[in-house]
Amino acid sequence: MNELSPSQLDALVSLLDDPDWEVKSHVRNKIISLGSEVIPYLEQKWESAFDPTIQKEIEELVHELQFGLLKKRLAEWRDSEDRDLLTGLWIINTYQYPDLEFAKLNADMHQIYFEVWTAFNNELQPYDQVRVINNVLFNTLRFSANTKNFHSPGNSMLSNVLDTKKGNPISLCAVYMLVAKKLGLPIYGVNLPNLFVLTYKSADVTFYINAFNKGLVFSRQDVGNYLEHLKVEPKEEYFEPCSHMDIVLRTLRNLGNAFEKLGEVSKVEEVRQMIAILENQ
């Protein structure tokens, strides 16, 4: 940003509708090279521009800069030591809501945790602890399965899930898991074919929780039956906790599928780029 004065930036933006493709391409590259700090300036220019061609160019530039920032954050998250789940989901969230601050998402999640915590008692047995969480999340706060719009991209956006109280299996499990982690409970994600569930896994007890079905509790045998029904070989990974990386990757794949169903080809391609960053470990 320091390289150019406001008048030089103005001159650059005014060339965005230049009929000469080479000029326009050079201008675009120059603006992109300035990085995400230039976004507020571009948004201002968008508001004052009356030419729809220039507005469209500015929109594309802003998106490219925002997407560049997202990819940088995603690579940093991939290389971080703890791969914090909420941070990973927030980064994905900024794809649709680039102005969403992590602090806002964190505060909203803390509010949900607080609601559960006030009803919680550490002395309870594991099954009763889960019953309390289920009651607060699915009865008091009314979180539920988004069966009507199962393939909506909004199901992969945590802020959207918190606003509408509706989500897909993995986003509802993520809310559940984040709350359980703050409560200090050994609850983790389990990557099943066609369904994402949770497991309560301690030295003494293991059982499973289906957040998409109001926290229904089931056993290892039920998981086996489910796999048999799907005619899928029962690999050990289908019974064990998965990593935060697995959760974020599966969320991205869901998002890619959602855009594919909507015919949003360029968004499908961008989601593929995001997946490639995470798989490049």
252 pLDDT higher than 80: yes
Q: Please give the mean pLDDT across all residues of the chain.
A: 91
Q: What is the pLDDT of residues 209-231, one digit of tens each?
A: 999 999 999 999 999 999 999 99
Residue 10 pLDDT: 72
Whole-number Å distance between alpha carbons of 53 and 55: 5
State pLDDT tens for residues 147-185: 888 789 999 999 999 999 999 999 999 999 999 999 999
Instruction: Say if residue 84's pLDDT is above 90.
Output: yes
Q: What confidence score (pLDDT) does residue 45 get?
A: 76
Residue 62 has pLDDT above 70, yes or no: yes
pLDDT band at 281 (very low <50, low <70, confident <90, very high): low
Separation between Cα atoms, residue 91 and residue 215, nearest integer Å: 26
Confidence band, pLDDT 50/70/90 cuts, at residue 52: confident
Tens digits of per-residue pLDDT, 95-132? Answer: 999 999 999 999 999 999 999 999 998 899 999 999 99
- Cβ 94 vs Cβ 70: under 8 Å: yes
Share of the chain above pLDDT 70, in %: 97
pLDDT at 1: 44
> Can you tell me the distance from the alpha carbon of 279 to that of 91, in angstroms, rounded to the nearest whole number?
16
Strands in the chain per DSSP E: 144-145, 166-167, 187-192, 195-201, 206-210, 216-218
Among residues 278, 267, 275, which one has the least CA distance to residue 95?
A: 267
Nearest-angstrom CA–CA distance, 38 and 27: 14
pTM above 0.85, yes or no: yes
